[in-house]
Structure formats: structure tokens, C-alpha cells
Amino acid sequence: MEYKFEDLIHRWEEHELFYRDLYMKKQGDPAAYQEYLKSLDVKDLQNRGLTVPELFAPFSVLGEYSIIFPLAADLSVWKHSRYTPSYYHSHEYIEVVCVMEGRAVNRFSETESYEMVPGDIIILPDGTRHALEVFSDDGIVLNIMLKKSTFETAFFDILSNDNLLSNFFQGVLRGENRTPYLYFSCGDDPEIRKCIERMFLEYYCHRHYYEMIEKSLVICLFSLLLRDADKYLMQGEKDIRYRIYQYLHKSFANTSLEEAADAFGYRPAYFSRLVRRETGHSFTEILTAYRMQMACRLLIESKIPIYQISEIVGYQSLEHFNRTFKAQKGMPPSEYRKKNRK
């Protein structure tokens, strides 16, 4: 039997109809919704693999379970069920979120989210906490899951080059501090769309040699993203806050606004306005907060003298450090250490 991509992704599954009904009831009268929740059989919902966060806690960490990788392959390709209740979770595998139609919202915190449109692709490393919202009839999102445990052997070709994606995935496999995700906005690129469509169909039909074809398609998808990365990669001012924190992790003890602006390739005045606009704080406020965070950890977790901690976190003057710490934490460092070590 030959399946058509459009028919498969637009077809309403039983669980999608349940979730849509649940969502619509939740938008109505709150009292009526609570009564509806009481009428649901929790064990039946769990047996059917349905998630209702108000009745029972969903998984906070999704592992490389058979329910995610039922074919025992190195990857899975699933349509994200429309109207699935949104909740924060992370994965033990690498996930690629592809918006095919409509819109979706990918939340990373209460204040950090992206509204994704058709052609948007986000590559999430394992351990990334997020919540995905697809609350519309026309929201079609495909999730490509790649096993971290077999990634190095299954996708060796991806790791053998020196480029954006290979460096990203090598950092993922080593568990290093890294970019929290890669976000591409590909618009209506026909080659990328066809590649994802074929990947979905191959996985859905799982005919002979489908896994070999799937791996080739993953390499093809990543190669297409790399070829036009300058055009598609969202790596400019939108993710400035993440790049700032990565920079501070390495340079918090010996940097300044001027040095940071130079590292980012901006003039200090423009960089200062950019940071304020994108984060709501000045660079100095962010730098101070980061230094105080490091100082607090050292005060609690070590016996290093306070004057040395002052130097470690970037203050040449102990008096300046003490004054800044008290202004930030409401007490001098010595009192903070004594209070929290108890």
C-alpha cells in the first residue's frame, strides 16, 4: 500500500481527538472542566498512553524507551499530536523539531519562548528542558529523535568534519557546556521539506532497508542546513542572552563591557543597547549577578578565604567586593558563608 504524506499528517488520530476535546473544555467554564476531569478514568488514560497533567504527573525526563523508539532503530520520526497538553520535560536523546504547517510555540522557561512557523527547525540536545505547544487544527509538527547512545557510531560522517553541526554534536556527546539548541528558519525551502517528508514516510512504512535510508536522509538534512546556514541559522541578536552567558562562563573574572563588545564584534554603545533590549538588564548587571553567583558557590562549597574569592570572581579590591556583595545579598560575605554553611 502506498501512503501519501499529506494524508498521514492531516489524519486525526484517536488521541488527538481526545486532546482537542480536552483542550476545548479547558477553555470553557472552569467548574465544568473540573467536573469533566473527575469523570475520567486515570488508569484507562495511562493504559492508553494519554497525558492529563491535572490528574497525574507526566514524565519529566523521556529516555530512550521502546515507546519512543519502538522499532529498535537509531532514530524515530513522529508527528507531534495536536492539542497535547504542554508541560516542561527533557530527553535523554537528541530531538529535532520541524514545523511543517501552522504554528507552534517552543517554551524553554516562563520568560523564554519561540513561536515557530512553517520551515522552522530546532535541534535540541539531550537534557534541554522545554515545553512544546501545538494548539490548532492546522499545526503540523514532526519530531525526529536520534539516540544519543548510538549517535557516534550511527552518524559518524556527521562528526568527522569541522563545521557548525559536527562541533555542536561533539559537544553534546562530551556533555560539555554548549549552545542550548540550534534554531534554523528555512521558510519554504523545497529540498529541506522533501527530505523531512521522505524521512517521515520511510519511518512510517519501515520497508526493507528503511533504516539505512533514514540515516542517509538525516545526513542529507543536516548537509542542507549547513549549506545555507548563513541564511537559515538564527544565530544573531535573537540568542544574544545565551551567547552572553557562554561568554561569561569563560571570561567573567576578567572582562568588561568594552572587551565583551569587541569579542562579539560590536561597538560598546551598540552592544550595551543590544544587551539591555534583549535581556532587560545592563551588561554590568548581568556580569555582577554572574560574579555573585560564583562567589556564593565558593563561599558555601569551599574554605577559600574571602579575599581570594574576591580575586577569583574578578574584583581587585576586597572593599569593592564586600560592598557589592552586601548590596546584592543583603549581608556581607562572611555572614552569608556562616549562615549558609550551617
Which has more confidence, 197 or 173? 197
According to the model, what pLDDT value does residue 118 have? 96
According to the model, what pLDDT value does residue 71 have? 86
End-to-end CA distance of the chain: 69
In the predicted model, what is the mean pLDDT of the chain?
89
According to the model, what pLDDT value does residue 237 have? 43
Q: Identify the CATH assignment for 5-235 out of 2.60.40.1930, 2.60.120.280, 3.65.10.10, 3.20.20.20.
A: 2.60.120.280
Query: Mean pLDDT across the stretch 219-227?
Result: 93
> What is residue 150's three-state secondary structure?
coil
pLDDT class of 342 with cuts at 50, 70, 90 = low
Strands in 120-124's sheet, in edge-to-edge order, are: 75-79, 140-146, 94-101, 120-124, 182-185
Where does residue 72 rank: exposed (0-12), middle (13-18), buried (19+ CB within 10 A)? Answer: exposed
How far CA 331 is from CA of 64, 306, 336, in Å, comes to 46, 14, 6
Torsions phi, psi for 254 (to 5 deg): -145, 50
Q: Residue ranges of the domains in the chain?
A: 5-235, 238-341
Tens-digit pLDDT profile for residues 32-56: 999 999 999 999 999 999 999 999 9
According to the model, what pLDDT value does residue 108 have? 92
Of 114-123, 267-276, 317-326, minimum mean pLDDT range: 267-276
Q: What is the four-CA torsion angle of 290, 292, 293, 294, rounded to 10 degrees?
A: 90
Q: How many CB atoms lie within 10 A of CB 91?
A: 22
Of 66-75, 158-167, 232-241, minimum mean pLDDT range: 232-241
Q: Residue 238 above 60 pLDDT?
A: no
CATH of segment(s) 238-341:
1.10.10.60
Angle between helices 268-279 and 240-251 (to 10 degrees): 110
